[in-house]
Amino acid sequence: MLKKLSIGLLAAFAIVTAAMMQVSPPETTISNGIIEARLYLPDQQNGYYRGSRFDWAGVINTLNYKGHDYFGPWRDHDPMAHDAITGPAEYFEPLGYNEAKPGETFVKIGVGRVRKPDDKPYSFSRQYEIVDHGTWEVHAQKDRVEFIHRLTDKDYPYVYKKTVQLANNAPRLLLTHELKNLGQKTMETETYNHNFFVMDNRKIGPEYTVEFPYPLTGEPNAGDFATIEDNRFVFNREITKGGSSFFGGVTGFTAEPTDYRFDIKNSVTGAGVTVTSDQPIAKLNFWASPNTICPEPYISIRVNPDETLHWTINYDFFTTKQ
């Protein structure tokens, strides 16, 4: 009896000890007096997101404006899962993947040097081994956080700076980017922002509209929950558990940077956001699931040796109800 009791106590102690050893992801909070946002910080051991798909910088846990939340978890969390991340989440197509042989490495901006395991085509949903995480610097101030990622690579070394900043006296969030090519090869790729809006934890359905300033053309590749009506994505019914809506290769935009613009509005809560950029859209997809709504504008990236590319994405938050 005593032996059984001792074993039980040891097991309970082990469980409590393991729970105590779990470390929360590092984070910081910024505010401009109008918006307050909490951001997760890159961390190789304890970071909220440690997958190989998305840029590790600028992951926002919550963003609150006038009592409305705009970002947050939308699925069960696993730090190594390719999409278990909160918005806005930015993705860069890999550099050097096709040239690399199995066992060699390629580059993911904002992630590091990653191993190519076999001859299969690159898949964003696959978790690849990160061989070299590079180095991260984080500089946090009251209203902004600057992330600096440095990577040494024989083909595509770089310095990548991303700043998440709240505008002075305005309900605006700015994502400013700076990518410097330190190598001898041109860096040519695409990046897109998955966004992952989670607005007041409202289920995705007819109370949402996504509006562009020009007519759109496209058909759903998956799911029949949403349709395109002129310049808007509209939902004919709520997306059910396990369901999703996806439109690939949506057209209608021009090569003008002013066409990088869309508005998301919720007719029930009044929460809304306008997203713009100083870069043109190269490609446009749209995806939504029961808990998140995601316009996905792509930007073309081309950086010659010793050159630096800058670009900015703006989020202007508003409410139609007081």
Q: Could you read off the pLDDT of 162-209 as tens digits, one per residue? A: 999 999 999 999 999 999 999 999 999 999 999 999 999 999 999 999
What is the domain-level CATH number for residue 216? 2.70.98.10
Residue 90 CA to residue 111 CA, distance in Å, equals: 11
User: Is 223 within a domain?
Assistant: yes
- Enumerate residue ranges in the chain where pLDDT < 70: 1-22, 322
Name the residue range of residue 99's domain.
27-319
pLDDT score recorded for residue 23: 87
Reported pTM: 0.92
- Per the listing, tokens 């197509």 go with 93
pLDDT score recorded for residue 321: 80
Nearest residue to 208 (alpha-carbon basis) of 122, 123, 294:
294
Q: How many domains does the chain have?
A: 1
- Per the listing, tokens 């989020």 go with 315
Phi and psi at residue 218, to the nearest 5°: 170, 155
247 neighbors 228 (Cβ within 8 angstroms): yes
User: Is 249 within a domain?
Assistant: yes
User: Is 292 within a domain?
Assistant: yes
pLDDT score recorded for residue 170: 97
72 neighbors 63 (Cβ within 8 angstroms): no
Identify the helix (H) or strand (E) that includes residue 4. helix 2-21
